[in-house]
Amino acid sequence: MANLIVAQLLFLEAEDPEKDIYLYINSPGGVVTAGLAIYDTMNFIKPDVATLCTGQAASMGAFLLSAGAKGKRFALPHARIMIHQPLGGARGQATDIQIQAEEILRLKATLTRRMAEHSGQSYEKVLADTSVIILCLRKKPLSMA
Protein backbone atom coordinates (compact mmCIF):
# COMPACT_ATOMS: atom_id res chain seq x y z
CA MET A 1 0.00 0.00 0.00
CA ALA A 2 2.76 2.48 0.91
CA ASN A 3 4.52 1.97 -2.42
CA LEU A 4 1.27 2.71 -4.25
CA ILE A 5 0.74 5.93 -2.26
CA VAL A 6 4.34 7.02 -2.87
CA ALA A 7 3.93 6.34 -6.59
CA GLN A 8 0.66 8.30 -6.69
CA LEU A 9 2.23 11.28 -4.90
CA LEU A 10 5.13 11.32 -7.37
CA PHE A 11 2.75 10.94 -10.33
CA LEU A 12 0.51 13.78 -9.15
CA GLU A 13 3.53 16.03 -8.68
CA ALA A 14 4.69 15.23 -12.22
CA GLU A 15 1.20 16.03 -13.57
CA ASP A 16 1.09 19.49 -11.97
CA PRO A 17 3.79 20.55 -9.48
CA GLU A 18 1.80 23.69 -8.54
CA LYS A 19 -1.45 21.92 -7.62
CA ASP A 20 -2.15 20.79 -4.04
CA ILE A 21 -2.47 17.06 -3.47
CA TYR A 22 -5.25 15.78 -1.20
CA LEU A 23 -4.51 12.72 0.94
CA TYR A 24 -7.63 11.15 2.44
CA ILE A 25 -6.76 9.06 5.50
CA ASN A 26 -8.91 6.24 6.88
CA SER A 27 -6.30 4.03 8.48
CA PRO A 28 -5.80 1.89 11.59
CA GLY A 29 -2.07 2.55 11.22
CA GLY A 30 0.66 0.27 10.01
CA VAL A 31 4.35 -0.40 9.73
CA VAL A 32 6.47 2.59 10.78
CA THR A 33 8.97 2.28 7.93
CA ALA A 34 6.16 2.18 5.35
CA GLY A 35 4.59 5.26 6.91
CA LEU A 36 7.93 7.06 6.91
CA ALA A 37 8.29 6.32 3.18
CA ILE A 38 5.00 8.16 2.61
CA TYR A 39 6.04 10.94 5.01
CA ASP A 40 9.38 11.44 3.27
CA THR A 41 7.67 11.60 -0.12
CA MET A 42 5.12 14.14 1.17
CA ASN A 43 8.04 16.33 2.19
CA PHE A 44 10.11 15.65 -0.95
CA ILE A 45 7.54 16.72 -3.52
CA LYS A 46 6.85 20.36 -4.37
CA PRO A 47 3.04 20.52 -4.04
CA ASP A 48 1.44 21.01 -0.64
CA VAL A 49 -0.18 17.84 0.64
CA ALA A 50 -3.51 18.51 2.35
CA THR A 51 -4.59 15.75 4.72
CA LEU A 52 -8.17 14.85 5.61
CA CYS A 53 -9.17 12.18 8.13
CA THR A 54 -12.30 10.28 7.14
CA GLY A 55 -13.18 7.49 9.56
CA GLN A 56 -10.01 7.06 11.56
CA ALA A 57 -6.37 8.05 11.62
CA ALA A 58 -4.69 5.84 14.16
CA SER A 59 -1.02 5.32 14.89
CA MET A 60 0.98 6.01 11.70
CA GLY A 61 -2.23 7.30 10.09
CA ALA A 62 -2.38 10.03 12.76
CA PHE A 63 1.29 10.81 12.17
CA LEU A 64 0.65 11.28 8.44
CA LEU A 65 -2.43 13.40 9.19
CA SER A 66 -0.26 15.73 11.27
CA ALA A 67 2.27 15.95 8.43
CA GLY A 68 -0.13 17.67 6.04
CA ALA A 69 0.67 21.22 4.99
CA LYS A 70 0.06 23.80 7.70
CA GLY A 71 -3.51 25.07 7.50
CA LYS A 72 -4.47 22.12 5.27
CA ARG A 73 -5.04 19.39 7.89
CA PHE A 74 -8.63 18.38 8.57
CA ALA A 75 -10.77 15.74 10.27
CA LEU A 76 -14.44 15.12 9.54
CA PRO A 77 -16.99 15.34 12.40
CA HIS A 78 -17.08 11.61 13.21
CA ALA A 79 -13.41 10.92 12.55
CA ARG A 80 -11.31 9.27 15.25
CA ILE A 81 -7.66 10.14 15.74
CA MET A 82 -5.42 8.02 17.96
CA ILE A 83 -1.74 8.46 18.81
CA HIS A 84 0.62 6.24 20.78
CA GLN A 85 4.31 5.44 20.97
CA PRO A 86 5.79 2.81 18.62
CA LEU A 87 5.06 -0.81 19.45
CA GLY A 88 7.46 -3.66 19.01
CA GLY A 89 8.85 -6.86 20.35
CA ALA A 90 12.24 -8.45 20.44
CA ARG A 91 13.61 -11.99 20.38
CA GLY A 92 17.03 -13.47 20.16
CA GLN A 93 20.32 -13.03 21.91
CA ALA A 94 20.80 -10.22 24.41
CA THR A 95 22.78 -8.17 21.88
CA ASP A 96 20.03 -8.60 19.26
CA ILE A 97 17.40 -7.45 21.75
CA GLN A 98 19.55 -4.46 22.68
CA ILE A 99 19.91 -3.44 19.02
CA GLN A 100 16.14 -3.72 18.47
CA ALA A 101 15.41 -1.75 21.66
CA GLU A 102 17.80 1.03 20.59
CA GLU A 103 16.15 1.17 17.16
CA ILE A 104 12.61 1.47 18.55
CA LEU A 105 13.77 4.21 20.94
CA ARG A 106 15.37 6.05 17.99
CA LEU A 107 12.13 5.76 16.03
CA LYS A 108 10.14 6.97 19.05
CA ALA A 109 12.35 10.06 19.30
CA THR A 110 12.11 10.73 15.54
CA LEU A 111 8.32 10.39 15.41
CA THR A 112 7.89 12.51 18.55
CA ARG A 113 10.17 15.25 17.19
CA ARG A 114 8.41 15.34 13.81
CA MET A 115 4.92 15.35 15.33
CA ALA A 116 5.97 18.18 17.66
CA GLU A 117 7.25 20.18 14.68
CA HIS A 118 4.04 19.67 12.69
CA SER A 119 1.61 20.21 15.56
CA GLY A 120 3.32 23.19 17.17
CA GLN A 121 3.34 21.30 20.48
CA SER A 122 6.47 20.88 22.54
CA TYR A 123 8.48 17.66 22.30
CA GLU A 124 7.67 17.00 25.97
CA LYS A 125 3.91 17.44 25.38
CA VAL A 126 3.88 15.04 22.43
CA LEU A 127 6.02 12.58 24.40
CA ALA A 128 3.56 12.71 27.31
CA ASP A 129 0.55 12.39 25.00
CA THR A 130 2.00 9.35 23.24
CA SER A 131 2.80 7.65 26.54
CA VAL A 132 -0.91 6.87 26.86
CA ILE A 133 -3.38 6.21 24.08
CA ILE A 134 -5.05 9.50 23.19
CA LEU A 135 -8.28 9.24 21.22
CA CYS A 136 -9.71 12.43 19.76
CA LEU A 137 -13.42 12.53 19.01
CA ARG A 138 -14.90 15.72 17.58
CA LYS A 139 -18.46 16.97 17.22
CA LYS A 140 -17.54 19.26 14.33
CA PRO A 141 -14.83 19.28 11.63
CA LEU A 142 -11.37 19.80 13.06
CA SER A 143 -8.75 21.90 11.38
CA MET A 144 -5.27 20.99 12.56
CA ALA A 145 -3.65 24.27 11.51
Cα–Cα distance, 127 to 116 (Å, whole number):
9
CA neighbor of 87 nearest in space, from 72, 103, 70 = 103
Q: Is 84 a catalytic residue?
A: yes
* Residue 66 near residue 58, CB atoms below 8 Å: no
**Cα–Cα dist 127/111, whole Å:** 10
* Catalytic residue chosen out of the listed positions 22, 76, 84, 100: 84
Total residue count of the chain as it appears in this document: 145
Q: Which residues are annotated as catalytic?
A: 84
